[in-house]
Structure 1
Amino acid sequence: MNPIYLALDLPRLDAAIALAQKVKGHIGGLKLGLEFFCAHGHHGVHEVAKVGLPIFLDLKLHDIPNTVAGAMQAIHVLEPAIVTVHASGGRAMMEDAKAAAGEHCKVVAVTVLTSLDDSDLAATGVGGSSHDQVLRLADLAAEAGLDGIVCSGHEVGEVHRRWKNGYFVVPGLRPAEAALGDQKRAVTPRQARDAGASVLVIGRPISRAEDPVAAARAIEGTL
């Protein structure tokens, strides 16, 4: 299975579908985030699903357990392969999210966003390093019965050693020659895969490349 999920971070639905159609032979799935979902809703997801690749709904649900369970039930009809919740929502919320998910849907918990570093966490009252916080929340997600977590490539190796059968989604990936953008803790796709990543989320290095097909093919070739 190709582990690359393309983040379709384009504002226009027609452009997003056109890009997905172009590169679908070199990726394994499509990630639709909060911006996409708020702009295009269920209709947009249904249209993108026609491309024929698994859909990862990166909604980062975070609310009281009953509300998150209701949201999970509301997206059953979209048949997502992966949905995200925030691990910081707590064990009960994660348990209810998993219980409400579709039979073939993996529920993974966001630990620490790859745009945050230690000083950002300290400003929110979280003690210790981002690495320590990821490990704490990974343990909590495992206890809650989730399928896996979202973490940066810097933590995935240790989390994989602690959680052998976990499903690990790694965003913030940048090919060796690419700019970091707003990602403070990025690694290359190959480094993340070697460390135990199940899914590699890649956006701008493909979507904003002069030749997206060549870019996707080049990344695929490093794995």
Structure 2
Amino acid sequence: MMKKDFFKLTAFTSKYFKFIITFTLSFCALCLFIFVITYMRVNEFFSFELLSFDNLWLFLFAFVYLLVFAFLALPFNLVAHYIFYKKKKNDFLFLSSLSSALIVFLSFLWVLNEKFDEINLHWLAFCGFIACIYLLFIGACLCFYERQNFKNFFIAVFAGLVLLVYMAILFPHHFETGFKRFLKTKGLSAKKVEIYLKDKQKFVIGELVFRDSKFAYVRFKDTLQGLNDEKNISKIVAIENISIIKDE
């Protein structure tokens, strides 16, 4: 029985990952455009260096991250697959998928409890909404794929990508928050950096918005000359003129 369930799992996961890889590659093709209309648009800068081969590794990391999340979503999709297509709910494959889904969910609750003070609840609710749409989207596409209805399958994939772009245009700040967290893990964004202003021959503390292979886009507050007021300044500096200050 367990051997039979193993072959069922192998057959399902092969279909699942064929679709996931196709969708992930399509998403990465749109990733640059989404980055421009969300993160760059909100922070009011643009980097032509993103179009160079030196920065392709950033999209490779995005591809790997999405595959990891897709793998974590697999037990939930297996449970949904059994609920809609199977009558028996007591075999090994369903029970193991249900247990795995529960472990993933409890792990998420543990991380949420540990990092609660650092999490924006509005952004978390937005991520939850995206996750629900994601699961429903994968379920629909798998349904079309299993029935060999490839016309509806490609329509669903196209509709999903269009919906993603549409939401990026409507909710750029939520996507900007996600990009900021992703860039921070790669040292391309930082909340606190020391910036050397070559024209003024002084150091200031500010925020690193983005760093490409040549330039750093920074934001800091500076006192107006002869006044006590401060103003926010956005500036492009060479990457050797910044150093990230790590939180103690």
TM-score (normalised: structure 1)? 0.27
**Structure number, greater radius of gyration:** 2
Structure showing the higher helix proportion among its residues: 2
TM-score (normalised: structure 2)? 0.25
